[in-house]
């Protein structure tokens, strides 16, 4: 009887693992849109020096979003 109970638990655990591994994240497929990159020349200051930079970001993302800022050498 004890071995039957252990076997039942093992089978149930195996089936649970197999079912959970088969679950695909379909949300990722829906979120895959072509990025709409916005490029801007910007002016910013640091240590009382005005500098020019270049920033690129995805316009499809609303709110806080990642960006790439190219900072030129200011110590020359």
Tens-digit pLDDT profile for residues 20-72: 766 566 666 556 778 899 999 988 887 888 888 888 889 988 888 888 877 76
Q: Which residue has the higher pLDDT, 15 or 75?
A: 15
Are 40 and 52 within 8 A, CB to CB?
A: no
The predicted pLDDT at position 45 comes to 84
**Whole-prediction pTM:** 0.45
The predicted pLDDT at position 37 comes to 92
The predicted pLDDT at position 51 comes to 84
Q: How far is CA 12 from the centre of its chain?
A: 34
Domain assignments of the chain as residue spans, ordered by start: 2-71
């Amino acid at each position: 009887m004890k071995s039957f109970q252990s076997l039942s638990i093992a089978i149930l655990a195996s089936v649970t693992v197999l079912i959970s591994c088969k679950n695909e994240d379909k949300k990722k497929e829906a979120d895959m849109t072509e990025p709409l990159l916005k490029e801007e020349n910007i002016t910013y200051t640091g240590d009382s020096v005005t500098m020019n930079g270049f920033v690129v970001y995805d316009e499809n993302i609303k709110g806080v979003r990642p960006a790439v800022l190219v900072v030129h050498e200011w110590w020359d």
